[in-house]
Chain A
Amino acid sequence: MTDRVAWTERLRRHFPWITLTTLVILVGITDFNFLRPDNLLNLAADIVPLLIMAIGMTLVIYIGSIDLSSQSIANMATVLTTIALPSFGVGSGLLVLVAGLAFGAVSGVVTTRLKVPSFISTLAVGGIALSVGQFASGQQALHMDAEMRRHAFGWMVGRTAGIPHELIVALLLVVAAWFIQGRMTAGRTFKAIGAGEPVAVASGIRVERYKILAFALSGMFAAIAGLVFSVKLSGGSPTLAEGFLLPAIVAVLVGGTPLTGGVGGVVNTVIGTMIVAVVRASMLYLNIPAMGQQIFFGLVLIVAIASTIDRSKMRIVK
């Protein structure tokens, strides 16, 4: 019996990339144009903001929590970047980063010190971030001055040898997150918290600090996602990143990081995001209206959670 368990367990680990390859082949068969390198590159460049947000989300889900504030923080970030650009130039990016970090840290503090479950604390902090964005923008879409944008963030757009620059930015962030997760004490601690928080506590680890760190990093990644998105679209609005949250969570879970945490990680999320991208693209090929996407992602989310969750860690679900 243990053999069979180990076997399904092993298969589960490979499930994400098998899904991805299958999907790519399926869509490729339907329309061969899909497989053309420039199409794939465009597809990849399009999902960069989502990928960055999902990477941050991964760290929080990895410790067994959830971050529902990402989308709102990204929204706020688009507004703040656009507003701050004239006065701070490239510094506006740093400013937004710090804002995201701070909002995430607040979620972390509320979760650990006040013992508010993360789905509530991040929902609340997300609400605050959304309002900050609305106030700052005066509830309207803002536009960046083309010259300032080129001067401050020109390096983020454009291509080198056919590779979109934002893809390189995303790659660097993935590597950074992967390094934190796999090679640093913080990442090891995140894993321990996800795998068994009482063990981490009983090993003398200051678990609360690391949890706050995970939330703060998630907030920062969400802010970077907003920054990249606003540069890409040359403007900001408090609703610009609408519709990001669900796909980001789906990307993490489909990638193989279960809600209970401890397994999976950044690389899984890269694959998960690609799956989301391919599914999205296939909807275009299959002429499914954009409005229907959230229905689909909602269903995928339920299936992904139900099939990846480690039930031995969650006896009772409330």
Chain B
Amino acid sequence: MFELRNVEKRYPGVHVLKGIDLSIAPGEIIGLVGENGAGKSTLMKIIYGAVQPDAGTIEIDGAPVHFRSPRDAMKMGIGMVYQEQSLIPNLSVMENIFLGFEQQFVHLGVIRWKKMAQAARVQLRKVKLDIDPGMITSRLTFAQRQLVELAKVLALEERVEGHLVILLDEPTSVLSKDEIELLFSLVRELRRRASFIFVSHRLDEIIALSDRIYVLKDGLVVDVIPAREARVETIQKKMVGRDIALEYYRENRQEPYDADKVLLELDHVVLPGRQHDVSLTLHAGEVLALVGVEGAGREGILRAIFGLKKPDKGTIRIRGEAMRTFSASHSVAQGVGYIPRERKIEGIASGMNVYENMTLSQMGHYSRGGVLDIPAERALARDWIRRLSIKVPSEESDCGNLSGGNQQKVVLAKWRSGGSDIILLDHPTRGLDIGAKEDVYDMVRDMCADGVGVILVADTLEEAIGLSHTIAVIKDGEIKTWFTCQLGAKPSLYDLIHHMV
């Protein structure tokens, strides 16, 4: 029996896990579902030892354990099958399986490869993979590599006493239908050897494979449902939680956009590595949401508009004028602003203060002959600190020390103060708490009221539906269908998911 009791985790500014209880019996398969930001990945990291909880206990058969690293967890039989695979491509399959545990094959300081190959074959047989253990990993297919990864975790079996607990993080996201079937039957068979925690966005799969389903929302387990009784709609409802106020996304402030004023046009744009072309039109005051699964090609479109990626074919027109040079500086000069997903990497320069961050994209306006007008910069920062009620001691504070919500406000202020009227929002509320999210939603409405056009890649589907005027559903780089999201006639989650997968 593997158990978590009242596990908590905080990061600066966010309470990610607020007391999680979870238990897994030997041979049990549990499903773990929740929206992005519900705390799933942090919870998993705690289970496999990559992150240490701030409070609460982890127990195996009633005895408390402490994992300081994934290796500690592995020694206790907890293994992770990573979504972005963790195998080292230029090593052989067997080297990967026993990575870090080669000692058992060492004789007089030399690895005995035959012995390792033999042991690897035993592991590969468990996952019914008939390949040469000496094969270089990069030559396997994605599905094969996933099975090798599973074999790697199963190799723990011989080394630890007691039962294994194996985490499967979105294992089906890039598998074909047949491969998924194969994986599922394998997992069911392996129940003799291990319990599984199965994380996926695909609720039907979760219901099909698991025994019990944990629904996570805002760092809490809101329900544990036996899979026999579970239905996709009820789980969805629990994931979103209907306690959210009707105006959570500030729908009451949604005004019709100006259909006569086109800000941006993509005309049969083909991005590198994609088969299909994309066409869309963004108007003043419009929020256009791109929805789709991870890797469907939403970010590529944003990056092309921002000039970070050059399309193979087609034209991008900004206010009627075709883009010829593709560089961020060119797009910025054309009034495009980009709020990146990786706030701490591309959004905020930590080590630089508030006004330095705000004017970074528009230093030309705050300098003459290359000499900065610092008093004007400060005045601008003070003005926006007040307008967006950014919680910061002064305009000279280091942005690296601000909370996520305040950092995001600084990034938004950077573009808004520079007069950008085409704003690209890439997961603008990622990692923010509820209050900060609502502030961001308010700012989106403010921008629309000012005639700004927004392209949104939202953190959740609800967010996309709630905020947008128009939704483009993207699958494999192609716009599958369009929805208009006028107030009172918004599409449902189900309508969208239907086209996404």
Contact = CB atoms under 8 A, between A and B. Distances in A.
Partners in one complex: yes
B360 A195 contact: no
A49 B12 CA distance: 47
A203 B356 contact: no
Interface stretch (A34-42, A140-148, A153-161, A182-190): A182-190
B279 to A, nearest CB: 25
Given A192-B360, A203-B360, A184 B370 contact: yes
Contact of B346 (A188, A194, A199, A262): A199
Interface stretch (B184-192, B258-266, B325-333): B325-333
B351 A185 contact: no
A200 interface: yes
B360 A200 contact: yes
A185 to B, nearest CB: 4
A206 B414 CA distance: 17
Interface of A: 2, 183-186, 188-189, 191-192, 194-196, 198-206, 262-263
B374 A198 contact: no
A206 to B, nearest CB: 5
A202 B349 contact: no
B361 A204 contact: yes
A263 B360 contact: no
Contacts of A262: 349, 351-352
Contacts of B350: 195-196
A258 to B, nearest CB: 11
Contacts of B414: 203
Given A183-B374, A188-B360, A204-B328, 6 more contacts: A184-B367, A196-B345, A196-B350, A198-B346, A201-B346, A204-B329
29 contacts: A184-B367, A188-B356, A189-B363, A191-B356, A192-B352, A192-B356, A192-B360, A195-B350, A196-B346, A196-B348, A196-B350, A196-B351, A198-B342, A199-B348, A199-B357, A200-B349, A200-B360, A202-B308, A202-B328, A202-B346, A203-B360, A204-B328, A204-B332, A205-B328, A205-B363, A206-B329, A262-B351, A262-B352, A263-B351
A144 to B, nearest CB: 36
Q: Is the interface of B mostly helix, strand, loop or mixed?
A: mixed
A198 B349 CA distance: 9
A111 to B, nearest CB: 19
Contacts of A198: 342, 345-346
Nearest to A196: B349
A185 B349 contact: no
B431 interface: no
A204 to B, nearest CB: 3
A168 B308 CA distance: 46
B340 interface: yes
B351 A201 contact: no
Contacts of B340: 202
Interface string B319-348: 000000001111111000010101001111
B110 interface: no
B208 interface: no
Contact of B372 (A184, A196, A263): A184
A189 B350 CA distance: 14
Nearest to B307: A204
Contacts of A206: 327, 329
B338 A184 contact: no
B245 interface: no
B383 to A, nearest CB: 19
Contacts of A184: 367, 370-372
A188 B360 CA distance: 8
A199 B345 contact: yes
B252 to A, nearest CB: 33
6 closest cross-chain pairs (CB), A and B = A204-B332, A203-B361, A195-B351, A196-B349, A202-B346, A195-B349
A2 to B, nearest CB: 8
A154 B414 CA distance: 51
B372 A205 contact: no
Nearest to A189: B363
A205 B363 CA distance: 9
Contacts of A196: 345-346, 348-352
A195 B308 CA distance: 21
A185 B329 contact: no
A205 to B, nearest CB: 6
B306, B330, B367: most-surrounded residue (chain A CB, <10 A)? B367
Contacts of B342: 198
Nearest to B345: A198
Contacts of A183: 371-372, 374
Contacts of A201: 308, 328, 346
A254 B303 CA distance: 40
A199 B347 contact: yes
B367 A185 contact: yes
A188 B356 CA distance: 8
With most chain B CB atoms within 10 A of its CB, the pick from A196, A202, A205 is A202
A205 B414 CA distance: 13
A195 B331 CA distance: 23
Interface string B395-418: 000000000000000000010000
